[in-house]
Structure 1
Amino acid sequence: MGELRKPFLLLALLAIALVVGVELGASLLTGGGDASGALRASAGDLGVDVGEVGRISEPSGRGTGHLALIDVVALWTTGLFCLSLVLPDRIQGRMQGVATLAFSVLLILAALVLLVTAFVELTVMVSLFLAPPFGTLAYLALWGFFPVGEASLLLGLVLLLKLVWAGLLLAAQPRFLQNKGLVLLALTTLLCTVLLEFLHRLAPVVVTSILDDVGAVVFAVVALVWAVVLLIGSIPAIVKAVRVTAALPTR
C-alpha cells in the first residue's frame, strides 16, 4: 500500500471516535427545553383548553443517536487500520476475521433492537398524531416541539468531523481511495448525516419528531446491511487463518 503516514491515521481514528461519542451523547446534548408555552398555543389552535400545563420538555430524538450504528462501522474499520501499526501482519490476519465476525454479530443484534424500538415509537407517534384532538394533544405533549436548532448545530459538528476523518485518511494514504468498501462507507455516513438534516427541515416542527424517527429506522436498516457485509467479509479471513494454522508444523 506504500508509505503510511501514521500521525494522520491516528488523528483520523480520533476524529471518527469523536463522531461516535457526539452521536451517542446526542440525547444529553439536545432536547430538554421547556415546550409548555408552545403546547398551550397549539392546543388553542385545535380549540381545546388544556388549562394549566406543567413544564413539558422538548424531545431529544433518535435520529442522531442511530447514526452511531453506521459510524461505529467506520470507527471499527479505522481501528483495524491503526491496529496494523502495532501488530505483525501474520497475527493481525488471524485476529481480524474472528474479531470482525464478533463485531458484526453484536452490531446486527444492536441494530435489530434499535430498529424495532424506533419503528414501534414511530407507529405510536403517527397513531396519536392522526387522532385529534386528544390523541394529537398527547403527541404534542410528548414529541411535538423538536429542538431543530440544537439538532442542526450537532449535525453540523458531526458532518465537519466526518469530513475531517475522510480528509485525514486520504492524507495518511491516498491509495485508500482504491478501497471501494471504505469509499462507499464514507459516502454512506456523509449522505445519512445530510439526510437527517434534510428530514429535520422538511416539514413544520410539530411533525419533525416523526421524520426524525423515520431517519432512525432508515439508519438502523443501513447499519444492518453494513453488519451483514462485514459478517460475510470476515468468513474468508477466518477460513484463511484456519488453513494457515492447520498447515503449521506440529511438535
Structure 2
Amino acid sequence: MFVIEARDPLAQKAFGIGLRGMAEIINLVSYYLVFIFIFIGFISLIRKYKTFKFEIEYILISVVSFFVALLTIVAPFISVGYSFERTFLQLLVILAPLFVIGCNSVILIFKKSRLKSVAPLLIMMLILTSQLMCNTELTYQIFGEPRSVIFNSKGFKYDIFYVHDKELVAAKWLNWSKENNLPICCDKHGGTRLKMLGISNIDDDIFKRNETKQGYIYLRYQNVVNGKIEPEYGRSEEIFVPISYYHHLFIRKSKIYDNEGSEIWV
C-alpha cells in the first residue's frame, strides 16, 4: 500500500520523485503551501467548530474531503485509478474556506497588530498567485518549456488537444464517403476528432496493438505534419512514436484523401 512506485506519477511528484526542472519544483512548493494552510484551517475548524458559522453538513463534508485528498497520495490504488491532480482540483471547491481559515490562524499566531489587517490578504494573494501560475502552467513558460496551450501554438498539449480545421474537414469527408461495415483506425486523440462528429466504429488501439487490420486509417495533423503517432494516452511527449515505425500497417493500402493536414488510407 505504501510502495511509492505503485502510485500515480503525479502523486510520486508530491514526494519529490521524478521532478524535472525548476518549474516543477516551484509547483511542488506552491502545492505544499496550499496544503499546509488547508491543514492549519482543518485543525482550527475541528478545534473551534462552534465559533465558525458553518453548518454541520459542511464540516462533515470538509473532513471527508480532507482525508480523501490525503488518501490519493497515501493509497496507490486510489491515486492510480483517479489521479491526484484531478482529485485535488475538485476538492479545492470544498476545501477553499479551510485555506482562508488557515491564513487567518497563522496571522493570529504572529499577532502583529500593524499588519493585522493587511497580512492575511498579502499571504493569500501571494499563495493564490503562485497557484494561478501553476494551474495555467505559466511557471513552465517562464522557464522556456512550451507546455501550456494558453501561451503557445506548440508543445505536447497543443499537439494532442488542439483540433485543426483540416482534421475536421477530413473527418467529415470520411463520414460522408465511408462504407459502414469498415472500421476507422486512428491513434488515441485521432479518435476524439472522429467522435466529435458522431462517427462510430472507431478503433483507436491499432497502433498500440501494432497489427494490420482491414478498414480505414485516419491520420490527424500531428501524424501527418509532425510524423508522430500517439498509440496510447500519456502525459508527456515520451508517448509519441515516429510514424515510420508503423509503415507495415500501410502496406496494401492506398491514400484516398489528403489535404496536407490530414490523410485517409484504405
Question: Which category of TM-score, normalised to the shorter sequence, fits these structures?
Answer: under 0.3
- Judging by fraction of residues, say which structure has more helix: 1
Report 1 or 2 for greater relative contact order, CA contacts < 8 Å, sequence distance ≥ 6.
Answer: 1
For normalisation by structure 2, the TM-score amounts to 0.25
Greater strand share, structure number: 2
The structure whose Rg is larger is: 2
Q: What TM-score does the superposition give when structure 1 sets the normalisation length?
A: 0.26
